[in-house]
Amino acid sequence: MKTAFVSGSAKRLGKEIALRLAQKGYFVWMHYHHSHAEAEETLQLIKQNNGDGNIISGDISKHQDVIDMALTVKKTSHTIDVLINNVGIYKIGNLLHYHVNDFEETIQTNLVGSYYMIDRFLPLFPLSGGSIINIGYSGVEYLTASINNTAYTISKTGLLILTRSYAHALGSRNIRVNMVSPGQLSNSVDLSENVKQIIPLGRFGECHDIVHTVEFLLSDNASYITGVNIDIAGGYMMRLAQ
């Protein structure tokens, strides 16, 4: 049985990824920070559907927490085949009035925390290789100013650079590293009221749209794909020639 670790998988997108991987036969480590009850519910749902897994708690922005989680996984599962960095802090606010604590927390969790996760869990990958998927956001490829979402934009742009850097560094170990970038999902916190105007396909995305892409990247059909970012956004944030 292959093993997967999904950060932030007690609810929302992370939960749906964990459920699907369990369905596919993975032993799934479901990570949470504060959402213990939701993580337990997700684990029970997996077991009710003949899947297997366990829950694990930690703050990925703290290096020691990540070290402890990696040791726990090693003692129980010995190896992992898949790491999904799904945790992401999203705090919007005007840059001129943005609190420094929010800025630091966003960068530390979304970017530095993902680095901690990859760095500490790398020794757990088998010699046969594996897959790492980082969750970005639609439009992350474009270097643009962001007055109301500066910290998040910086963190995810940095994560894309980290993704491609690790893809290059880990190719010889057959560990593929990719990014999946959702657009506006129906359960997003800042949905636009003009969906048909801003999204060419005319609808908000659903978690299953993202899950299908994660599933593809983990399949044999994607065995020659690494270092890519895939926007799952219905054309949202697509640049047009002027």
pTM greater than 0.85: yes
Q: What distance in Å separates the CA atoms of residue 121 and residue 116, rounded to the nearest whole number? A: 8
The tens digit of pLDDT for each residue in 13-38 reads: 999 999 999 999 999 999 999 999 99
Catalytic one of 152, 166, 224, 236: 152
Tell me how far apart the alpha carbons of residues 79 and 82 are, in angstroms, rounded to a whole number: 10
What are φ and ψ of residue 212, in 5° steps? -60, -40
Give the separation between CA 22 and CA 3, rounded to whole angstroms.
Answer: 9
Of the chain, the end-to-end C-alpha distance in Å amounts to 51
pLDDT of residue 174: 98
Cβ-based neighbours of 199, under 8 Å, separated by 6 or more: 183, 184, 233, 234, 235, 236
* Enclosing H/E stretch for 53: strand 52-57
Predicted confidence (pLDDT) per residue in 161-200, tens digit: 999 999 999 999 999 999 999 988 877 777 777 888 888 8
pLDDT of residue 50: 94
DSSP 3-state assignment of 58? coil
pLDDT band at 239 (very low <50, low <70, confident <90, very high): low
Output the pLDDT for position 114: 98
Give yes or no: 152 in active site: yes
Mean pLDDT of 88-114: 95
